[in-house]
A and B are shown apart, each in its own frame.
Chain A
Amino acid sequence: MNKQSYQLVIVGGGPAGLAAAQEAYDQGVRDILIIERDFELGGILQQCIHNGFGLHFFGEELTGPEYAQRFMEMVAEREVEIKLNTMVLEVSSDKKVYAVNSKEGMLEIKAEAIVLAMGCRERTREAIGIPGSRPAGVFSAGTAQRYINMEGYMPGRKVVILGSGDIGLIMARRMHLEGAEVEAVLELLPFSGGLTRNIVQCLDDFDIPLRLSQTVTKIHGKERVEGVTVSKVDKNLKPIPESEYHIECDTLLLSVGLIPENELSMEAGIELSSVTGGPIVNECRETSIEGIFACGNVLHVHDLVDYVTEESKLAGKAAALYLQGGIKKAKKEVSIVAGDNIGYIVPHKVTEKIEGRKRVELYMRGKRPMKNARIVVMDGDEELFSKKERYVKPAEMISIPLPEKMIEQLASNRVEVKIEEGGAE
């Protein structure tokens, strides 16, 4: 087998991998390899041709490809080695990366540190178990996006979209503008999982109906989709049989959630969170295996790529510090716990002592939409501090800084964050 070695190996050349590489380089690491399975860098951003990226990080509004290209150029200016068209098959717990490409064959790459940046994948029809026949014309929204925006294929002419997260909404507009009839966007929950801005500019602008508390309960058609049965659902999200109606269509797009892509992490024996589907990490985004870090959507699914960049720079910096011996264990380990009304928090714990650090940023998601909420940070049973939020939406990540001084002075070794509704009034 073709044996190679690098100080830092980054699995994935999307926004997370690129930002981690750039930051690790800027912190002094020179021997970096990015492995990417596609023919080019940039990841899923290359198919996200719509605008709205970069407002936080660059202070201007960019499209996905524009955002990606900035990072591709930053990495190209540095001595980062890149292997394209290369598929990682396995990452071992002793930090060997097995990969394959058609030029070099099978590769065994020894790494001193690894950053996992494989992104996420889409939930499929199988994941939500829609009954009916199995005709052509059922796509995940992201696959349809790649076909339309990069490969020049039109998936269908008369479309129903299931799922009103941002991808579903953006694909409704995209398919409408490309000449398809978008019959409806259906949402199982009583509220949309997408940004208000996208509901207005993707649906309202083109009179595409959004139907809440409804789902597809059957797919019809033999060779090709001919229609779907739609049912309203009750409070427990169970379909109400007498509410059934039919929509004629040739295509069903599924936008029913994203899952961190952790096949490689699992094989490596990395401890995963059952809530996020990503690795359990400390504030350096270091996994349960020392020297293996994770960032971006492989860790938890982000709402904005800007936050992916922020987090990946953190992981890249931590990987550099690790390689340079700059990370020391803290005297005590603090666990970060998701309390009432919080879906999850990343990181899961604070374990390191890093010189010059000012704060640890906690990222979390609310469980349901709330107004005038108070986000409360607890030190054991004592309230440490709280922050008002005018609105909380599960679609939008909340971040709260935990200042270094507070971490040092914690009375307990457990920080819990919870949300109280109406607490801000």
Chain B
Amino acid sequence: MGDKVRITCVSCPMGCDLEVEVLDKEIKKIEGNRCPRGIEYAKAEYFNPTRILPTTAKVKGGVLPLVPVKTAKPIPKGLLEKAMVEIAQVELEAPIKLGDIVIKNILDTGIDVVATRDLAKK
């Protein structure tokens, strides 16, 4: 018998409760899914769960003191809190354009943090 891990599939709004049985870092069995997407989701979510991180960065001289930013692609879930700390160090200067790179290759993930709106100068 391996370890059992519970994962809720969010591929669609059904939200199936999946039970994943793992032995020696190998998935032995996935139960509870009502469609094949559940299997793929469980694998991705077990081996390498990733999330897009939307947050804000400080701005000098803008119409607002913050600009919303996000990781351009999902990053490993375990890095979310570290990424928040790194983004908190940044201070940008207005004006900013949607899509401007705020941090290149955050935490060596190969993924950039980008601005998600235009922000004019005050």
Contact = CB atoms under 8 A, between A and B. Distances in A.
A11 B1 CA distance: 63
A65 B10 contact: no
B59 to A, nearest CB: 9
Interface string A150-169: 11100000000000000000
A171 to B, nearest CB: 13
A34 interface: no
B70 A51 contact: yes
Given A49-B68, A205-B77, A396 B13 contact: yes
Contacts of A152: 56, 58, 64-66
B66 A204 contact: no
Interface residues of A, number: 32
A200 interface: yes
Interface stretch (A98-106, A191-199, A244-252): A191-199
B81 interface: yes
Nearest to A50: B54
Nearest to A45: B117
A97 to B, nearest CB: 27
Interface in A141-191: 148-152, 177-178
Contacts of B64: 150-152
Contacts of A58: none
A152 B116 CA distance: 16
B118 A69 contact: yes
A39 B117 CA distance: 15
Contact of B52 (A51, A150, A178, A393): A51
Interface in A87-133: none
Contacts of A177: 53, 55, 80-81, 84
Interface string B45-80: 000000111111010000111101010000001001
A49 B116 contact: yes
A201 interface: yes
B8 interface: yes
A201 B10 contact: yes
A49 B56 CA distance: 8
Given A177-B81, A201-B10, A205-B51, A149 B118 contact: no
A335 interface: no
A9 interface: no
Contacts of A205: 51, 77, 80
Interface string A45-81: 0100111000000000101111011000000000000
A391 interface: yes
B14 A391 contact: yes
A201 B63 CA distance: 31
A40 interface: yes
B15 interface: yes
B80 A149 contact: no
A195 B98 CA distance: 28
A390 B10 CA distance: 15
B38 to A, nearest CB: 13
Given A149-B56, A200-B8, A195 B13 contact: yes
A39 B98 CA distance: 19
A39 B63 CA distance: 9
B54 A63 contact: yes
A200 B66 contact: no
A178 B117 CA distance: 20
Contact of B10 (A39, A150, A197, A396): A197
B88 to A, nearest CB: 9
A24 B117 CA distance: 25
A204 B13 contact: no
A69 B98 contact: yes
A149 B68 contact: yes
Contacts of B63: 39-40
B65 A49 contact: no
A393 B8 CA distance: 17
A391 B55 CA distance: 32
A396 B14 CA distance: 11
A39 to B, nearest CB: 7
Contacts of B65: 151-152
Contacts of B117: 46, 65-66, 68-69
Nearest to A391: B14
5 A-B pairs with least C-beta separation: A196-B15, A65-B117, A49-B68, A197-B10, A152-B65
Given A49-B55, A63-B68, A390-B14, 7 more contacts: A49-B54, A61-B52, A65-B116, A149-B68, A197-B15, A201-B10, A205-B51
26 contacts: A40-B63, A46-B117, A49-B54, A49-B56, A49-B68, A49-B70, A49-B116, A63-B54, A64-B68, A65-B116, A66-B98, A66-B117, A69-B117, A148-B56, A150-B64, A151-B64, A152-B56, A177-B55, A177-B84, A195-B13, A196-B13, A196-B14, A196-B15, A197-B15, A200-B8, A393-B13
